[in-house]
Structure 1
Amino acid sequence: MPNNRSLLKSSLANKSVVDRVIERITGAIISGELKPGDRIPTEVELCESFQVGRNSIREAIKVLESFGVVYIKRSEGTFVSSSFNHRMLDPMLYGLILEKDSVEAIIELRKVFDIGIMYVVIQKAKKEDIQYLYHELERLEAEVMSTNADAKRVLNQDIRFHAAVAFCTHNELIQNTADYIDRLTIPSRIQTMEKILGSDERIRFIELHRQIVDMVKVKDSLQIGKTIEDHYMFWKQE
């Protein structure tokens, strides 16, 4: 294993000591300087590298551990995590929540993500995946067209439908990221669902979802942009 002490040296920029340590360690992981399973330098080595006290180093490691980026083996040291942990996406989630004009930003983010997902789904979806999508679509239609339709139940099924679409990528990272983005959209989408159920647009709402599944079935990637844009027609009016 390479000597990791030198790779953690960095200039003291205009950030807190804790933030600089976090950024440098995560940067080393992203660049491949630190690999999954690698032991990171000890507290003493990090203190020497950053010329800071142990309290700052411990706080940085505590933050990284809380987000699942590293894990601690007592008496052995601190290691880079070797597998995905949902907590790794929490910083992104919090950042989006706090973003100014977050509703518009979240809608744009999800639209871009949905378009990207569709390209992957069209390439990778199997016959059984398409059957799965039609099944979830039927459940969504049943909820929407019910005489006692409830906005929360419709939203829950809509979430399941889009989770099914993400599942068809057969990419766990995409699925987990899609789940996080989906969670951010819930407050504005519940209002949209109430509006749809109180109007004569229920059939149109279902047809927009059917377009997605039909597009996957025939593998028509040329229609992705328009289909996703149409899919947002109700949400954009909120």
Structure 2
Amino acid sequence: MAVTDEAIEKIKAMIVGGELGPGDRLPPEKELSERLGLSRNSMREAVKALEVIRVLDVRRGDGTYVTSLEPHLLLEAISFVVDLHDDDSLLELFAVRRMLESQATGLAASNASAQEAESLLAEVASVDPDVVTIDDLVAHDIRFHGEIVRLTGNGYLASLVDGLSSQTVRARVWRGVTEQGAVERTLSEHRGIAEAIAQRDSALASSLATAHIAGVERWLRQAATA
């Protein structure tokens, strides 16, 4: 194991073991490197790496702290990685999203209150297909699917799904969708999903979400081979 990797593992062990918790300040670099039996250079590189993935927060002139370790922070890098991939790779990512989001939508149907379901329906109704722009559609798509995964009550699931379909990916998809009726069809599918959630029909909601995302996959596949 590389020395920097060893340092990362030892800091992780301190967090997993409860010696350090969210918001805690790490001991000074010299003290920590001596305690763990590692050089200050390897310790410094480990801290940099853990800062990049949002496990640690280096505050200049103050010290290094463990972050809140909230799911949205720890899984933030997924969106960055997803944005770098081409359409062929996006097909694989959408397949993963389809599996996760279909289950998330079914769970949302079980959890949603009448008021939350009504809010989801209102979100769909707020979009006018005759005047909506690409940016408007991207914003709506983020709000709609984000609210659904939030209703699962599972922060890690919500962050994973959100990361697999970032704003950049959504914009790429919408700018490429040129077939007639795509906007109306998408809003109709969103409405169907929202109505299934309002009816607390988990099986229907899950099936509709699967079909909805599969439709985007199908378009991406066609675009990639065109």
**In structure 1, C-alpha distance between the alignment counterparts of 2:209 and 2:153, rounded to whole Å:** 20
- Determine helix, strand or coil for the equivalent of 1:164: helix
| Stretch deviating more after TM superposition (75-84 or 227-236) | 75-84
Structure 2 contact 29–43 (Cα < 8 Å) conserved: yes
1:59-208 aligned within 5 A: 59-71=45-57, 78-82=64-68, 84=70, 86-97=72-83, 101-140=88-127, 142=128, 144=129, 146=130, 148-183=131-166, 185-192=169-176, 194-195=177-178, 198-208=179-189
Change in Cα spacing, 1:85 to 1:210, as seen in structure 2 (3 Å) is closer
Change in Cα spacing, 1:221 to 1:43, as seen in structure 2 (3 Å) is same
Structure 2 contact 98–209 (Cα < 8 Å) conserved: yes
Change in Cα spacing, 1:28 to 1:155, as seen in structure 2 (3 Å) is same
Give the letter for the 1:89 counterpart.
Answer: L
Structure 1 contact 106–185 (Cα < 8 Å) conserved: no
Q: Please list the CA deviations of residues 94-147 of structure 1 after superposition, one character each: whole Å capped at 9, or x if unmatched.
A: 44445685312321232123123213312221111011101101023x1x2x0x
Structure 1 segments unaligned to the other structure (5+ residues): 1-12
**RMSD (CA atoms):** 3.3
Q: Please list the CA deviations of residues 48-94 of structure 1 after superposition, one character each: whole Å capped at 9, or x if unmatched.
A: 46654212211221332344323457898644334538543233334
Q: Which residue of 1 aligns with 2:39?
A: 53
Give the letter for the 1:152 counterpart.
Answer: D
Q: Which residue of 2 aligns with 1:226?
A: 207
Deviation at 1:158, TM superposition (A): 2.0
Higher-Rg structure is 1
Deviation at 1:161, TM superposition (A): 1.7
Give the letter for the 2:199 counterpart.
Answer: V
Deviation at 1:199, TM superposition (A): 0.7
